[in-house]
């Protein structure tokens, strides 16, 4: 079973956090929702989520992927977490998948994993934070090595379907995508 960490912080983007979690569970992943601190997380638009655990409790665990939802100030809280920075850096250096959407690449910059990488993010999210060697594009999504980034909430479903395809394969992505009834894919 694929194991994915989804760190949750107050002020995260509701749509991204819920879409990432929902679709990965549909795909059959063990999704570990970890808060930065104990208790409920309130997303930016008011959705309240109860994490499975606290990040500190899983800091030494191995994950196939770490998938970071964006939103602000949620992404800032992720970037400020020393535990998460270490986890992202270790995951990246081990050649395991790291994914971030919207403003969450701020946490990637804080972890020091953007050197010589091509990424995308919400406009201005990386202003003054990305190393000079980082190329920031306007594309909806970017894949560079074991790093996947996406622009924002409007591509949350496509982003998560790409995560599923990356962790499994294209056929499994289609199995998950069909029942979603997206236009042209199992829908009208």
Catalytic residue chosen out of the listed positions 12, 57, 102, 121:
102
Kind and range of the H or E element at 35?
Answer: strand 30-35
Q: 71-108 burial string, b = 16+ CB within 10 Å, else e?
A: bbebbbbbbebebbbebbbebbeeeebbbbbbbbbbbb
User: Which DSSP category does 92 fall into?
Assistant: H
Q: Indicate the SS3 state at residue 16.
A: helix
Tokens of 54: 């606290």
Q: Indicate the SS3 state at residue 117.
A: coil
User: Which DSSP category does 27 fall into?
Assistant: H
> For this structure, is 121 an active site residue?
no
Cα–Cα separations (whole angstroms), residue 132 to 24, 51, 108, 115: 33, 36, 14, 8
Residues designated catalytic: 102
């Amino acid at each position: 079973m694929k194991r994915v960490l989804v760190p949750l912080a107050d002020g995260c983007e509701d749509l991204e956090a819920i879409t990432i979690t929902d679709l990965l569970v549909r795909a059959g992943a063990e999704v570990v929702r970890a808060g930065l601190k104990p208790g409920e997380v309130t997303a930016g638009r008011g959705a309240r989520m109860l994490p499975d655990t606290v990040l500190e409790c899983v800091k030494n665990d191995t994950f196939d992927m770490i998938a970071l939802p964006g939103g602000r100030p949620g992404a800032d809280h992720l970037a400020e977490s020393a535990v998460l920075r270490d986890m992202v850096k270790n995951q990246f250096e081990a050649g395991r998948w790291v994914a971030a959407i919207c403003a969450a690449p701020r946490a990637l910059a804080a972890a020091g994993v953007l050197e010589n990488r091509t990424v995308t993010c919400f406009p201005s999210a990386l202003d003054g934070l990305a190393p000079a060697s980082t190329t920031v594009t306007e594309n909806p999504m970017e894949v560079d090595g074991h790093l996947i980034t996406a622009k924002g909430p409007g591509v949350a479903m496509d982003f998560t379907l790409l995560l599923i395809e990356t962790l499994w394969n294209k056929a499994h992505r289609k199995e998950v995508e069909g029942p979603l009834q997206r236009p042209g894919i199992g829908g009208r």
